Amino acid sequence: MTIPGHQDRAAAAELETGPQPQPQPQPRMSRRAALRTAATTGVAVTALAATAGPALAAARPARAEGEDHGHNVAERAGTDPGEPIIAHLRDARTGEIDVFRGTSRVRLRDPALAALLVRKSR
């Protein structure tokens, strides 16, 4: 026995009101890639930290008007120079790399560095 007359709700709703809201695409963190990159590309990541400091600071997002205070204040907190830096190579073809440090994340586009990470992680 099934619930009588209970048809596919999404399909029924679309018929009545048009497409239902769908989840917005969320950045997918590949844990495996992050682990692999963090574990095998220490040289590359260290060099990145040494050379890209100003770029990282400049890329840190400012607090937008109307945003919650809690998260943004936490994210703007200072970083500890000794804390780990973790790089996630999102797309080797475009060189898109996320770099995580403390509570910040910056997104770089550096095909040369991406190629180096790919080579070193093999």
Partner 1 sequence: MSSHREAPEISKDPVADSTDVYAFISPDQPSTVTLIANYIPLQGPAGGPNFYEFGDDVLYEIHVDNDGDGYADITYQFRFTTKLQTPSSFLYNTGPISSLSDSTWNSKQFYSVTRCDSGGTHPLGTRLACPPCNIGPLSTPDYEAKLGRPAVHSLPRGIKVFAGQRAEEFYVDLGSIFDLADLRPLQSANVFAHALGLPNQPGVNATNHLNVHSIALQVPISQLVSHGKPTIGVWTSASRQTVSVRGDAGQHPVGSGPWKQVSRLANPLFNEVLVPLGQKDYWNTQRPAHDKQFASYVAHPELASLLPVIYPAIPPGKAPFAHLAKLVKSGKPRADLEAILLTGIPSGIIPGFTNFTGPVQADMVRLNTSIPPTPKSSPKYSTLGLIGGDVAGFPNGRRVEDDVVTIELRAIAGATYPLVAPGYKVDAVVAALTDGLTGASVKNKPLASFPYLGVPYDGYHNPS
Q: How many residues bind partner 1 (CB under 8 A)?
A: 41
Tell me which residues in 38-97 interact with partner 1 (CB under 8 A). 38, 66-71, 73-75, 83-86, 88
Considering only residues 14, 103, 109, 118, which one is a binding residue for partner 1 as defined by CB under 8 A? Answer: 103
The residue from 8, 11, 14, 16 that contacts partner 1 (CB under 8 A) is 16
CB–CB of 111/100 below 8 Å? no
Q: Which helix (H) or strand (E) holds 122?
A: none
Distance in Å, CB of 61 to partner 1, minimum: 9
Task: Produce one character per residue of 85-103: b if its CB has 16 or more CB atoms within 10 Å, e if not.
Answer: bebbbbeeeebbbbbbbee
Full strand arrangement of the beta sheet holding 85-91: 85-91, 96-101, 104-109
CB 28 to partner 1: min, Å: 11
Angle at 99 between CA 80 and CA 83, to 5 degrees: 20
The contact set with partner 1 (CB under 8 A) reads: 1, 3-6, 9-10, 13, 16-17, 20-21, 23-24, 26, 29, 31, 34-35, 38, 66-71, 73-75, 83-86, 88, 98, 100-105
